[in-house]
A and B are shown apart, each in its own frame.
Chain A
């Protein structure tokens, strides 16, 4: 097991390296850096001061040196300065990361809370009206793009019914640490988390349903029944336990999904997280922030898939490939 994890981690290193080179090359290829924008808005800044500024920021060094500096900074947790905000990128991201993690965790928990019971019901009572309803629900959520669903939810529950706040992550008046503060945070979280969760239930439900239907026909279940084990015990002890385990392995892939989804969710609900930061940074050509965010997402995706593989191999020893 340890050997498998180690191998998997060693395998990650070249991937990370290529990823970092790719991202660095992209950042360098961006047309006009943040300073060009400043030049236009500030007529006092002439070409000479610009050159000086560029030199000071190390923007005119050869590319490999810049890359080396960037990687060195990466290892020290130094992601450079945001040229627009004039604060270190680490600080900028740290301020937003909390919100995104909160939203992501809420989406994941909600999605499992919805998906597991539905999957179990439709797997156990196949071909009943409940199962048909759930399969229908699955078709719809699978086909619905996240941004459309989120927009419709926002329109209906936020604007038409007015039940929930429509933008932001917290009331401005709320005092930090009070009960009202947390309630306001939760209140702002409901719509984005709910719309993210509903759309991401499909895979879990589908998988659970198929798994239960498959397991139902296995010999050990027949044996249990033949021995006179009660029906509820057959399901709870024998079938669900076997079918639920692989679901745990999806956790890592779900992290990947949540990262991608956060860009849409945060931009629609005006939720100040890293997805929104990414969009505004790319529009303002704040490339140190953009590269840092893409790098962090790539890292999170890697860790997510690694996590999935480890859980999967722990749950199912057959997958441990030598």
Chain B
């Protein structure tokens, strides 16, 4: 516990500073060296991945070259090749792009659903809240991983979009619960009652007044979820129930390691992808944790 004594002069200065959500988040990131480094590293990875994937020719990467099967890293193939003589580095970049994009899509989609459902349940309370909470309670007891796998394997026209939809269908409940509980607390505050007395329509109170007050919590939650979703996606792809083969993900590269020979002797096939997942998730989590501190004024560093 650190008690900061703020003299009146400093206090005045602080008041003049902008207090928008993003400026608070940014200030926290800058104060935390590790989070700043994570942000820069993640930015660098993303720029490289998205930048080069524009230049890369996907057909060239997935072209089978039987003369160089499982060749170890060399000047020509920086990270070696796989069982079809395909360049690992190229697959790594495309995989990282797909994994991140899909993780982001799932996060945004679940965020939207969770936000709407949570806000409604929390704001209206009563019967609406009860019904929604029963549904969410039901989702909580589902063996999620197994059901996602079942869904993935029974869908007839399975593609990336169906994968995103299946994942989102199961993953929105956590956010809805969080936002509901926060909205429930917010609803009791005077500004909401005042607005209601003035005759502001409900939707306007929800989106223009309650929502901005929850924004920092939402950003924190979305950031941490992004890391989790990338993990779940690559994990499912690793098991063979994630992205279809036409869209390689980082999990696809890791899944080659199910073959003990590759796991043991051909590290260049699966290790870079595993480490890249690890690094990305660590970075996103660090950033998310800095955001978390920023969202709670008592824990802020700056």
Contacts and interface: CB of A to CB of B under 8 A. Distances in A.
B16 to A, nearest CB: 32
A15 B141 contact: yes
Interface string B274-294: 100110011011100100000
Interface of A: 15, 18-19, 26, 29-31, 139-140, 142-148, 151-152, 154-155, 159, 166-167, 259-260, 263-264, 267-268, 278-279, 282-283, 290, 293-294, 297-298, 301-302, 305
Interface residues of B, number: 43
Contacts of B235: 145-147, 264
A152 B263 contact: no
Contacts of B151: 26
B254 interface: yes
Interface in B106-146: 137-138, 140-146
Contact of B277 (A29, A148, A259, A267): A148
Contact of B289 (A29, A139, A268, A293): A139
A298 B141 contact: yes
A145 B234 contact: yes
B274 A30 contact: no
Interface string B254-281: 1001101001100100110010011001
A159 B263 contact: yes
Contacts of B257: 151, 155
A263 B140 CA distance: 18
14 contacts: A15-B138, A26-B154, A31-B156, A140-B282, A143-B284, A145-B231, A148-B274, A152-B274, A155-B263, A260-B143, A263-B239, A294-B150, A301-B141, A301-B143
A145 B153 contact: no
B134 to A, nearest CB: 9
Nearest to A140: B282
**Which 8 pairs show the lowest CB-CB distances between chains A and B?**
A297-B143, A145-B231, A143-B285, A159-B264, A143-B281, A260-B145, A143-B282, A30-B154
Contact of B142 (A19, A30, A31): A19
A152 B146 CA distance: 24
B282 A151 contact: no
B149 interface: yes
A164 to B, nearest CB: 14
B254 A151 contact: yes
A283 B241 CA distance: 10
B138 A18 contact: yes
Interface string B78-110: 000000000000000000000000000000000
A302 B270 contact: no
Contacts of A145: 231-232, 234-235, 277-278, 281
Contacts of B278: 143-145, 148
B272 to A, nearest CB: 12
A18 B138 CA distance: 9
Contacts of B149: 263, 278-279, 282
A264 B239 contact: yes
B171 interface: no
Most chain B beta carbons < 10 A, residue from A29, A143, A268: A143
Nearest to A16: B141
B164 interface: no
Given A147-B238, A279-B239, 17 more contacts: A19-B138, A139-B285, A143-B227, A144-B278, A148-B234, A148-B277, A151-B270, A154-B263, A155-B263, A159-B264, A167-B260, A260-B143, A264-B238, A264-B239, A267-B258, A268-B258, A294-B147
Contacts of A139: 282, 285-286, 289
A263 B145 contact: yes
A167 B274 CA distance: 20
B152 to A, nearest CB: 9
B140 A305 contact: yes
Contacts of B239: 147, 263-264, 267, 279
Nearest to B138: A15
Nearest to B277: A148
A152 B279 CA distance: 14
A159 B265 CA distance: 9
A68 to B, nearest CB: 22
B141 A293 contact: no
Interface in B205-257: 227, 231-232, 234-235, 238-241, 254, 257
Contacts of A19: 138, 141-142
B127 to A, nearest CB: 17
Most chain B beta carbons < 10 A, residue from A151, A259, A268: A151
Contacts of B289: 139
Contacts of B270: 151
A279 B148 CA distance: 12
Contacts of B137: 15
A299 to B, nearest CB: 9
Contact of B146 (A144, A297, A302, A305): A297
A263 B146 contact: yes
Contacts of A159: 260, 263-264
Nearest to A260: B145
A74 B285 CA distance: 43
B150 A259 contact: no
